[in-house]
Chains A and B, each alone.
Chain A
């Protein structure tokens, strides 16, 4: 059973009168517990694709199934609920909530998205903070830690709800090389430990090498698949 199935997946943006075909009939399948990267030049459609898979946007045509759900049929509220349950997100700019501590940021999805009982919360948060090496900084606020540390916290936040899938659009673009590697490797480690599928997009050729499956996008079309 595939985790993600895309069939003839297209997305066309309307910019006034002109149409921008960001994705042109993509076909691919992603199995559970994969470590996948989408690469391609700027404007090739990486963000567009990740937004579709992440149920943040809807395809113009074609089929997209995520964890056996036809996600193009979800309304706004259902899509939000689906994301909260099945998908974790890691952002390029880390996007931690500034008024919450590291510990609270990781706990946020459990409290305000999933309503997990508090007994279970603490143990899960601490385990993940430990796994990403941020346990010592748990009471610090986001503005008191470095970019790499923020992204490690974001990885923990994305995983705390035990999602099937974690999406990361250019997660290392704002990090130096060493830190970028470290973050990618933490993601990889979590994938092996938890069996979570990670899909990330990147420009960085060296980082791409860390992926197990690499899709290349060019001008809205799939130009290659490397394993």
Chain B
């Protein structure tokens, strides 16, 4: 016939305007959170993707101590041939790794025969590098999207300052680890758009050319960048890799390698963290909105119905049922708020995503914001809203259940 839910719903409909207002407030909160979570999440993922896919990779391995002195690009801290073998063996044993790229990094002089300036260069295996940082070659603005021996990809600011174009001949001069100086002529193969962050303005040459300038062989590697099949497994793969490499010790008995996630290598990790913290506070605000609005309504609902509570208590309704009656009312408010909010939120996100909003990140312009929301987020926010609604009703509902029927019946 009818039950507690029916009574709760009818009581909510009895104060239609107030119920509508509360449900709207809760849904507006839910919509705001969903839109914020999806937009900021999309921005964050895009940002991380730009950084890791343009040059950084997801994980990097160096000889112990390299990252601390990365600004001077030391050639004395390379991975030698037998250590390299061990690292590659470890990498190959982890199926979650999509690709890895060995790099020789060094600093040198860049000359167009008129002027000379500093340059930071990466010597890479072109295919490996392209698979590890797939956005790298898309940054080539002029020229062909390849790295051939004898050719150099020049970062755009350097190209502009030195007035070099694709096809020009330039000279790269570098000091090798023994202190002797060597130079090599290159043809400019392409102009490379800058990417945001350290390493985003490096030039690229073939690893064989790098070895030639530095007078060493290609078994001397400064850095190994790793790309995962699934970015969400970052920590898992990182732990496995670290574990596998931890057996290797250097002559001093310390660890021979250092393994870093992208987070430790880019200051943009802090922005990503910032976004997480902001998301947390936005959620906290939603909790506050739900808590205050539902509690307010439920306190009023109990106050208005004191005589009714007295009546049902007098005729023998047990306190637990009275408690449940009001909790269900609060639950229903939260439930409808969550449902309406989710529907409107998903609609808003779809509209935003269809609107193809773009944003600029660093020097990257016109990145497409593709806000999406996954079912976990929707469920989590719904459960949160409904739980808070029930908790907010707890105090008024408890008060109702503990009312003395005589006092309640006398209430005017």
Contact = CB atoms under 8 A, between A and B. Distances in A.
B1 A113 contact: no
25 contacts: A54-B314, A77-B319, A80-B313, A80-B316, A80-B317, A80-B318, A80-B319, A81-B316, A82-B316, A83-B315, A84-B316, A91-B409, A93-B307, A95-B310, A99-B10, A99-B13, A104-B2, A109-B316, A111-B1, A111-B2, A111-B3, A112-B4, A112-B312, A113-B316, A113-B317
Interface string B7-32: 10011011000000000000000000
A108 B316 contact: no
Contact of B315 (A100, A109, A121): A109
A220 interface: no
B10 A113 contact: no
Nearest to B4: A112
Interface of A: 51, 54, 56-57, 76-77, 80-85, 87-89, 91, 93, 95, 97-100, 104, 107-109, 111-113, 118, 121-122, 157-158
A44 B94 CA distance: 91
Contacts of B1: 104, 107, 111, 118, 121-122
Chain B contact residues: over half helix, strand or loop, or mixed? helix
Contacts of A104: 1-2
B406 interface: yes
Most buried by A among B14, B308, B310, B311: B311
B9 to A, nearest CB: 9
Contact of B406 (A56, A87, A98, A108): A56
Contacts of A85: 316
Assign chain B's interface to a size class: 20 to 34
Contact of B317 (A76, A88, A112, A122): A112
Interface string B294-332: 000000000000011011111111110100000000000
B315 A89 contact: yes
B308 to A, nearest CB: 6
B403 to A, nearest CB: 11
Contacts of B321: 112
A178 to B, nearest CB: 26
A95 B11 CA distance: 16
B405 interface: yes
A87 B3 CA distance: 22
A87 B315 CA distance: 8
Contacts of B2: 100, 104, 107, 111
A108 B312 contact: yes
A177 B175 CA distance: 116
B249 to A, nearest CB: 70
B406 A51 contact: yes
B14 A99 contact: yes
Contacts of A97: 7, 308, 311-312
A113 B14 contact: no
B303 to A, nearest CB: 16
Contacts of B314: 54, 56, 83, 89, 91
Nearest to A158: B315
Contacts of B11: 99
A107 B317 CA distance: 13
Contact of B311 (A81, A88, A95): A95
A143 B316 CA distance: 24
A81 B318 contact: yes
A77 B318 contact: yes
Contacts of B318: 77, 80-81, 84, 113
A111 B315 CA distance: 12
Given A51-B406, A100-B10, 12 more contacts: A77-B318, A80-B316, A80-B319, A89-B311, A100-B2, A107-B1, A108-B312, A108-B315, A109-B316, A112-B3, A112-B4, A122-B1
Nearest to B405: A56
Contact of A76 (B7, B312, B319): B319
Most buried by B among A51, A91, A112: A112
Contacts of A83: 314-316
B24 to A, nearest CB: 22
Which 9 residue pairs spanning A and B have beta carbons closest together?
A84-B316, A99-B10, A95-B311, A83-B316, A113-B316, A56-B406, A56-B405, A89-B315, A104-B2
Contacts of B313: 80
A34 B316 CA distance: 23
B315 A113 contact: yes
